[in-house]
Chain A
Amino acid sequence: MGRYVVSRSLQAVFVILAVLVVTFIIVRAVGDPSRLLVSPEGSRENLAQIRHVLGLDAPLQVQFVRFVGDVVRGDFGKSFTFGRPALQLVLERVPATLLLALTALALAVPTGILLGMVSAVKRNTIYDNLATTLAVLGRAVPNFWLSIMLIVVFGAYLKWLPPSGYGTPLHIIMPSVALSAGLAAIVARLTRSSLLEVMSQDFVRTARAKGLSESRVLTRHVLRNALIPIATVVGLQAGHLLGGAIITETIFAWPGVGRLLTQSIYNYDYPVVQTSVFIISVTFVFLNLAIDLLYALIDPRIRYD
């Protein structure tokens, strides 16, 4: 187990380094912030001066070495837009993103499992069809469209919920529902197929033959065994929640890392883009590592030796 953790952590560090390199290059390919900052009455010399002030006149490899050196010392640079340390700006936004992603996860997983169970147990009935339709819809409807529809219906017309923003428990309802829809749908489909597969196995027949009640068979024997693939997918998708949060946060004006990231991309704010992507990828990578280790808890057959 220990060796596994060490080797996976090393891999994780490598992945994060690769992400840093790619972000560093892509963000520079997108656009040049000096063109945003130059005065319309400025000259090409002014433009050159701005590039110098921002440190963008150095060759790319020199900039990269400087950047990595700074990152190693924990210095992610200052935001070109806000003039504040990039790391501080990003970390300020982490709680909002975590809150949104965790709420969405907490909504998606039980909803998905419940829908999947209904489908599997009431297989080929109207309930199954209903649950399946819901799941297909949840998967097919684009996140941004669902978000806007929720805002229009519950925010603008019914006026039940604040259309956007942050601050009260009411504010989190729409964004977390919008964000969780896709994941809930995946979990529902997976739960259904996984349950059906397990239900057809011999040990389930044995459990029933022992005289266990149907609900006990379902929760103790079937569900527990069906959970392994679900846990895998939830783990992988939790990372995607962070990605989905970029759109959801922007539409709902939710002050999280995703919203800061889109804003910074538009502003060519290299330090903030790099730092946001760094923080998101660190979260993603270590989340996956944690999920891998969780398998051992769910399934005693899995051992990392």
Chain B
Amino acid sequence: MRRNSFILTLLATLLLLGSVAHAQGTEPTTVTIALTDDPPSGDPHKTRGANGGHLLFNLFDGLVALSGDMTTIMPALATSWEQVDDLTWSFTLREGVKFHNGEPFTAAAVQYSITRILDPNAVRFNTDYKQIGEVDVVDDYHVIIHTKVPDPNFIAKMAGLHIVPPVYTASVSEEEFGSHPIGTGPYHLVEWTLGQRLVLEANDDYWNGRPTVDRLVFRPIPEASTRLAELQAGTVDLIVGLNYDAIPLLDADPNLRVEANTGRRTVIMHMDLLNGAKPLQDVRVRQAMSYAIDRQLLIDSVLNGYGTPLATIFRPDMAGYSADFQPYPYDPERARELLAEAGYPDGFSIRFMTSDGIVTKGVEVAEALGAMLGDVGIKVDVLPVALQVMRDMYIGNPEPASGKVEPLFMFNYGAPTPDATSPLKALVQTGGIEAFYNDPTMNALIDEYASEMNPTTRASVAHDIQEKLYNDLPIIALYLQLDTYGVSERLNWTARKDEYVLGKDISIR
């Protein structure tokens, strides 16, 4: 009896496998992409994460879109927009757009989507869009959005606010919508088996023209070396999260190439200046540390050259970025002088927490930094831990001044828009969820930057902020991390800055 059920189970699973294999139909132009994990959900208002974006930005549109280098805001579901006053934005919507299920796109969909995202249970996004107030539908193709506070970054943020079809979304459960999402995007969902594959097909009626690749297949493959093997075997055309160590292998293979883009992630040495180690409280020590670091050497030796040195947490694409501030030059002599001035002629010892999960090669980078700081007398004890430990210690620590955090730690920040408000509020402003610094002038400047609608005034505020960041060093900025991808030579594709792999960017050679 037991043996029978055992055999039955085996047969049943084999049959199941057979039917799955059989279900793969004819194949038009297909591009297979290996991701690190499953996108969590197809619901753009509830979850995102790095893997979610690959799905959502193929399926959905926002009112506007960001160019691949994140510098230009382009029309999408809105053909034009206008700032009526500091708190009011008027959008003219694209006519004749239909959702994948045929539902027409109108102003009602915009209103519905915004109301939905502000639902208190949409835990993440109601915070990102909390400045949005009322949405007025003027007519089918005109909508007015009011913000509660002036928000100079409002339009760029709308690129991430995806529009869902109101009739369909309201008629199905949240769970159902998450697994059978419907948008207006260049691709629509055909098949999704968690842990196995996600199949998208080109939207024939896409408003911006049908994409040339008929089918996108996303496969979640957590192990980096397995993704690489898939690419080498030719069973996958594009892999994300290519290990830097694998770059020479791809360079040597005529069928494959490496694509890289300075991603959106800034890598920093973050510090607890509220209650951290005493030496760090002295600005001269922080400056000494910044002088002691040879950023270019770090990038060349540990990161295979894939990185761009940074002066502050302002990325060059961010509103108000000023090239007046260049990364601290490597000057160990100056570093030693500053340390001596601060009363540490023989240096001091400090613990430095890091994780391979927090930045690419996080442990090796920290060890290299430790050696550089060691050269000027700062004895660094590198503390490699699991990413989880760092998250629990540093994100939203209920008592940032409790001294329960390691005083010096690796961190990264990937702002989603070309604007510094998000990293400034999170990392620098007192009370920020990852901030360990208290400077009333800086806090006021950040508030001003976040709400100043005049670009010229804003740029001058940004300049002041960068000057303070540069001189007072609440954070030691290191470099912009490059995202690396392995790509088959049969594809035309370049990496976007926002980390997403979009079918509309791909064509077959």
Chain A contacts to B: CB under 8 angstroms: 30-32, 34-44, 46-47, 49-50, 53, 81-84, 89, 92-93, 95-96, 98-99, 102, 148, 151-152, 155-157, 159, 162-169, 250-253, 255-256, 259-260, 262-263, 267-268, 290
Contacts and interface: CB of A to CB of B under 8 A. Distances in A.
A92 to B, nearest CB: 7
B20 A43 contact: no
Contacts of A53: 121, 123
Interface string B1-35: 01000100110111011001100100000000000
Contact of B225 (A40, A89, A148, A256): A148
A38 B396 contact: yes
Given A95-B13, A99-B10, A253 B233 contact: no
Given A82-B40, A159-B233, A167-B17, 6 more contacts: A32-B391, A35-B391, A47-B396, A166-B195, A255-B193, A268-B388
A254 to B, nearest CB: 8
Given A82-B40, A83-B47, A84-B178, A163 B235 contact: yes
Contact of B391 (A31, A83, A102): A31
A255 B198 CA distance: 13
Contacts of B219: 165, 253
B279 interface: no
Contacts of A92: 194
A152 B231 CA distance: 11
A49 B120 contact: yes
B127 interface: yes
A44 B433 contact: yes
13 contacts: A35-B396, A36-B391, A37-B123, A40-B433, A47-B396, A99-B14, A155-B232, A163-B226, A164-B223, A253-B219, A255-B195, A259-B222, A263-B37
A165 B229 contact: no
Interface string B31-51: 000000110110100110000
B33 to A, nearest CB: 13
A38 B228 CA distance: 32
B12 A152 contact: no
Contacts, number: 171
B388 A83 contact: no
Interface string B188-203: 0000011110000000
A251 B227 CA distance: 9
Contacts of B124: 37-39
B426 interface: yes
Contacts of B433: 38, 40-44, 46-47
Contacts of B504: none
B431 interface: yes
Given A38-B395, A42-B433, A95-B16, A163 B230 contact: yes
A76 to B, nearest CB: 15
A251 B223 contact: yes
A253 B194 contact: no
Interface in B61-89: none
Given A42-B433, A167-B21, A263 B222 contact: yes
Point out which of B37, B41, B127, B193 has the most chain A C-beta atoms below 10 A from its C-beta.
B127
Given A40-B422, A50-B123, A98-B9, A82 B391 contact: no
B2 A290 contact: yes
A69 B178 CA distance: 27
A49 B433 CA distance: 14
B178 A40 contact: no
Contacts of B41: 81-83
Nearest to B2: A290
Given A102-B10, A164-B221, A39 B128 contact: yes
B398 A44 contact: yes
B222 A252 contact: no
Contacts of B493: none
Contacts of A102: 6, 9-10
B12 A95 contact: yes
A220 B80 CA distance: 86
B175 interface: yes
Contacts of A263: 37-38, 195, 222
Contacts of A148: 223, 225-226
A50 B195 CA distance: 27
A99 B13 contact: yes
Nearest to B16: A95
Contacts of B24: 167
B40 to A, nearest CB: 5
B175 A84 contact: yes
B499 to A, nearest CB: 15
Interface centre among B223, B422, B431 (most CB of A within 10 A): B223
A76 B434 CA distance: 33
Nearest to B125: A39
Contacts of B434: 40
Contacts of B229: 151-152, 155-156, 163-164
A260 B195 contact: yes
A152 B225 contact: yes
Contacts of B423: 40
Contacts of B389: 31
Interface string B385-403: 0001101100110100000
Nearest to A257: B195
A286 B395 CA distance: 42
The CB with the most chain B CB atoms within 10 A, among A43, A53, A156, A268, is that of A156
Interface in B390-447: 391-392, 395-396, 398, 413, 421-423, 425-426, 431, 433-434
